[in-house]
């Protein structure tokens, strides 16, 4: 008995190369605008709920501010009015774009916030100057302790009211940790000075604490609004990718003419060994983060600018890899058919059966041929290196008569010529060490199992 092993590296065909360039992912993205519109309609309720909470907070703030003394009430009422208007403008902008702000809209809102802060700072400075003037008058009057005490107690009371408002309605520890506690300590100091009869000192400290609380309220309101906007954009962006993943689970398969093949689908998760499931899990984790109230504005923005594009790129790569793997699987069957026809024409070998290893279309394809003299050949077509799009063809000859090495080489050259004639870039035949035996898995499998013919269809 004389036998041998010959291997031929088969590169991707021209059609295969064209298919690689025409990414399957464009089919997923074709209806992206309508998909985004649908996602935005679904997230509108979440957006409205978020800003309804802001509106309720502002209404409660207005009620509390109405109870402040005359010296602080107007300033804080104007601040609240401006904050409320800013929130409404932001909500309207988000509704107009249904959650995802365009760059020009985002810059407009930022400019409005800067203008708002500038106006409030100007008014605060004027109020500081007025209060300082009052304090100077009280110090000059000296003996008017009753008036000084009344002013100090008024500022202290307003400070206590503002501190309670911030503590009860705003996420101050999230955006400005420990600032409220520090300002409340100043209020306690002012209270102690009043108890000691040092009304001028109490007035200065209470005024300073109140203005600090006013600034703290403004800062937290601004940062909270920015976070809500970033959260809305992040949730929408991640949800869109999640919907794209859903749409990518099973896709139509196109033939060389670009038309969808009837009754054939691409099971992306199957052909990528579960990579679509892994991606779906990662998108789910990203969505959980996008809706996590503990996430900072910077982290939410990074989700939109960095993570979402990366997830979408992974989806495109996953879909394309599934497409290429399925094409390569079918290509291995086509190669086996071409080799079998060549060996039939040149050496009289007839095809008996063919199948994928372990019934898995993603792996090697085997075909068994036999000659009337009892000699047998097993064609082993394995996937090439990862991502290459090529295949490795091995011709295992089980010859029971005397077959010269030159004949084996001629047989391999004939196969290579036939493959190149059909457009496959086939390399030179290479002899492999060793001799094929009946214990090789490919041979045993094809010899002992009852096969129902060639496997010419790939799994969808």
| 265 inside domain | yes
Final residue belonging to a domain, choices 304, 323, 342: 323
Domain count, the chain: 3
| 453 inside domain | no
pTM for this model (two decimals): 0.74
Final residue belonging to a domain, choices 282, 308, 323: 323
Q: How much is the pLDDT for 449? A: 43
Q: How much is the pLDDT for 460? A: 27
HEC sequence for 178-209: CHHHHHHHHHHHHHHHHHCCCHHHHHHHHHHH
- The residues facing 267 across adjacent strands are 250
| 108 inside domain | yes
The answer to whether residues 289 and 295 touch, using CB atoms and an 8 Å cutoff, is yes
Do residues 47 and 179 share a domain? Answer: yes
Q: How much is the pLDDT for 434? A: 59
Q: How much is the pLDDT for 423? A: 63
How many CB atoms within 10 Å of residue 10?
25
Q: How much is the pLDDT for 359? A: 87
- The residues facing 307 across adjacent strands are none
Q: How much is the pLDDT for 86? A: 84
Show the domain range for 396: 2-17+328-448
Do residues 251 and 114 share a domain? Answer: no
**Tens of pLDDT along the chain (460 residues)?**
344 555 555 555 544 554 554 455 666 666 666 666 777 677 677 788 888 999 999 999 999 999 999 888 988 888 888 888 888 888 887 777 654 555 556 666 667 767 777 776 777 677 667 666 766 666 665 556 788 888 889 999 999 999 999 999 999 999 999 999 999 999 999 999 999 999 888 988 998 999 899 989 988 998 998 898 888 889 888 998 998 899 889 888 776 666 777 877 889 999 999 999 999 999 999 999 998 988 999 999 999 999 999 999 999 889 888 888 888 888 888 888 888 888 888 888 899 888 898 889 988 899 998 988 888 888 888 887 765 567 788 888 887 665 566 776 777 777 777 677 666 666 655 555 556 665 565 655 555 443 333 322 222 2
- The residues facing 392 across adjacent strands are 9, 382
Model pLDDT for residues 409-445, shown as the tens digit of each residue: 777 777 777 677 666 666 655 555 556 665 565 655 5
HEC sequence for the chain: CEEEEEEEEECCCHHHHHHHHCCCHHHHHCCHHHHHHHHHHHHHHHHHHHHHHHHHHHHHHHHHHCCCCHHHHHHHHHHHHHHHHHHHHHHHHHHHCCCCCCHHHHHHHHHHHHHHHHHHHHHHHHHHHHHHHHHHHHHHHCCCHHHHHHHHHHHHHHHHHHHHHHHHHCCHHHHCCCHHHHHHHHHHHHHHHHHCCCHHHHHHHHHHHHHHHHHHHHHHHHHHHHHHHHHHHHHHHHHHHHHHHHHCCEEEEECCCCCEEEEEEEEHHHHCCCHHHHHHHHHHHHHHHHCCCCCCHHHHHHHHHHHHHHHHHHHHHHHHHHHHHHHHHHHHHHHHHHHHHHHHHHHCCEEEEEEEHHHCCCCCEEEEEECCCCCEEEEEEEECCCCCCCEEEEEEEEECCCCCHHHHHHHHHHHHHHHHHCCCCECCCEECCCCCCCCCHHHHHHHHCCCCCCCCCCCC
Final residue belonging to a domain, choices 301, 323, 345: 323
Q: How much is the pLDDT for 448? A: 43
Q: How much is the pLDDT for 346? A: 82
Do residues 248 and 285 share a domain? Answer: yes
Q: How much is the pLDDT for 452? A: 31
Model pLDDT for residues 229-261, shown as the tens digit of each residue: 888 889 888 998 998 899 889 888 776 666 777
Do residues 44 and 139 share a domain? Answer: yes
> What does DSSP say about strands 391-399 and 365-370: parallel, antiparallel, or unpaired?
unpaired
Q: How much is the pLDDT for 15? A: 46
């Amino acid at each position: 008995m004389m036998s041998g092993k010959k291997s031929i590296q088969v590169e991707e065909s021209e059609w295969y190369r064209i298919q690689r360039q025409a990414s399957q992912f464009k089919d997923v993205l074709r209806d992206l605008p309508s998909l985004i519109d649908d996602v935005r309609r679904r997230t509108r309720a979440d957006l409205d709920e978020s800003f309804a909470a802001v509106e309720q907070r502002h209404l409660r703030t207005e009620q509390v501010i109405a109870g402040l003394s005359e010296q602080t009430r107007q300033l804080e009422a104007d601040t609240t009015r401006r904050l409320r208007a800013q929130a409404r403008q932001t909500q309207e902008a988000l509704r107009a774009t249904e959650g995802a702000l365009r760059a020009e809209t985002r810059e407009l809102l930022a400019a409005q916030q800067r203008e708002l802060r500038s106006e409030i700072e100007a008014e605060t400075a004027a109020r500081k100057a007025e209060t300082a003037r009052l304090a100077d008058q009280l110090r000059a009057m000296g003996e008017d302790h009753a008036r000084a005490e009344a002013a100090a107690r008024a500022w202290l009371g307003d400070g206590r009211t503002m501190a309670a408002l911030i503590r009860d309605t705003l996420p101050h520890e999230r955006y400005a940790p420990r600032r409220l506690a520090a300002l409340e300590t100043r209020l306690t100091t002012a209270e102690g000075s009043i108890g000691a009869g040092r009304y001028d000192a109490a007035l200065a400290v209470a005024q300073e604490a109140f203005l600090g609380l006013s600034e703290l309220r403004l800062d937290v309101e601004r940062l909270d609004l920015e976070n809500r906007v970033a959260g809305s954009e992040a949730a929408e962006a991640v949800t869109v990718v999640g919907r794209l993943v859903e749409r990518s689970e099973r896709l139509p398969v196109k033939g060389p003419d670009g038309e969808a093949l009837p009754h054939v689908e691409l099971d992306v998760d199957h052909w990528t060994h579960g990579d679509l499931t892994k991606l779906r899990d990662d998108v789910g984790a990203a969505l959980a983060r996008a809706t996590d109230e503990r996430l900072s504005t910077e982290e939410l923005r990074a989700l939109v600018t960095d993570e979402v594009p990366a997830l979408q790129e992974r989806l495109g790569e996953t879909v394309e890899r599934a497409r290429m793997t399925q094409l390569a699987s079918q290509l291995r069957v086509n190669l086996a058919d071409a080799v079998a026809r060549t060996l039939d024409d040149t050496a009289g070998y007839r095809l008996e059966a063919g199948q994928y290893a372990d019934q898995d279309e993603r792996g090697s394809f085997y075909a068994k041929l036999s000659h009337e003299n009892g000699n047998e050949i097993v064609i082993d077509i394995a996937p090439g290196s990862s991502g290459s799009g090529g295949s490795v063809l091995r011709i295992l000859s089980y010859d029971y008569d005397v077959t010269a090495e030159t004949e084996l080489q001629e047989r391999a050259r004939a196969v290579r010529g036939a493959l190149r004639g059909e457009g496959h870039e086939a390399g030179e035949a290479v002899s492999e060490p060793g001799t094929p035996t009946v214990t090789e898995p490919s041979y045993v499998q094809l010899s002992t199992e009852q096969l129902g013919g060639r496997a010419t269809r790939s799994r969808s």
